[in-house]
Homo-oligomer: A and B are copies of this chain.
Amino acid sequence: METELKRGFLVRQRAFLKLYLLKMIEANKRYGTQFLDDLRTEFKPYGYHPTHSEIYKTLHELTREGWVRREKKLLGEPGVDFQEIIIYHFTEKGKQEYELYRKQMKVELDRCLGLLNQAMSDHYGPIKRK
């Protein structure tokens, strides 16, 4: 899973989403489509609209690597009786990996911010602080 963390230029979408999904899984009780909706809402101001496919692929990856396990459930909403959803829970391994991953991603995000700020400064003058 190390290979996904950095790529020289900017952080990859998949790695970025993974960080968010892990956090959301930690908070429990949500499922794929809701993750997607929440993320789209949060990122809307930045013009970033993730696709459902990226979300699911990231969740599959987390499952494949044993960071989370899946629990099938029925969406218990009034009127909707038989919609199956999948809830994700951390495994023991996953908890530990998350902790580590979170730390690594801090470094990575810092690096990306550094790169972008450098560009800002190179092309638009020194960074303005409020």
9 A-B pairs in the complex with CB atoms less than 8 angstroms apart: A9-B48, A10-B10, A10-B11, A10-B13, A16-B119, A19-B119, A23-B122, A42-B122, A102-B123
Most buried by B among A10, A43, A106, A124: A10
Which of A64-72, A75-83, A87-95, A107-115 lies at the interface?
A107-115
CB pair A109–B115 under 8 Å, yes or no, is no
Contacts of A6 in B (CB 8 A): 47
Q: Does A56 contact B (CB under 8 A)?
A: no
Contacts of A9 in B (CB 8 A): 13, 16, 48, 50
Report copies per complex. 2
Contacts of A111 in B (CB 8 A): 46-47
CB pair B47–A122 under 8 Å, yes or no, is no
Complex Cα–Cα for A113 and B115 (A): 10
Contacts of A112 in B (CB 8 A): 10, 116
Complex Cα–Cα for A114 and B113 (A): 10
Interface residue from B19, B49, B118, B122 paired with A46 (Cβ < 8 Å): B118
Complex Cα–Cα for A11 and B112 (A): 11
CB pair A8–B48 under 8 Å, yes or no, is yes
Given A6-B47, A9-B48, A11-B10, A120-B115 contact (CB < 8 Å): no
Contacts of A114 in B (CB 8 A): 45-46
